[in-house]
Amino acid sequence: MKFFKDDRGTSALEFALVAPMFLSLIFGIFQYSYVVFVDNLLHFSVDAAARCGAIGSTTPPCNGSGLTAMEQTAKTLFFMSNKPSFSANCSSDSGSGLTATYDVTILNIVSLPLTAKSCYPTL
């Protein structure tokens, strides 16, 4: 027995019920992918800058040894508009290292701090 004989508009109603959840899932996947991308980029730039500082390379993108040169190298490799904050990671006698912290803002509500550390022995 059929209660309602007119079923026009059911597709629109089902779409209205499912679309917000589906779009939230897709947007969440994009946000997660962005955070993973920025985290990988931060780790890559800090690791490359610490290695450049340890070997004292001046071949591009390296700027030589020392904290200032490593920071400049990391800023060059981390091509996002906002730059992370840097600090020295290793003691001067054990190697060349760098620590970077970068805040990723999600939905202009949540700020997620990302940190990358790298230390290489000096030659």
72 contacts 61 by C-beta, under 8 angstroms:
no
| Pair of tokens at residue 75 | 């800023």
Q: Where are the domains of the chain?
A: 14-120
Instruction: Kindly list the distances between the CA atom of residue 55 and the CA atoms of 21, 29, 41, 89, 117, in Å, as whole numbers in the listed order.
Output: 51, 39, 21, 16, 17
Instruction: Kindly list the distances between the CA atom of residue 49 and the CA atoms of 4, 6, 10, 29, 117, in Å, as whole numbers in the listed order.
Output: 69, 68, 58, 30, 11
Band of residue 4 on the pLDDT scale cut at 50, 70, 90: low
Each residue of 65-98: pLDDT tens digit? Answer: 888 999 999 999 998 888 899 988 776 567 788 9
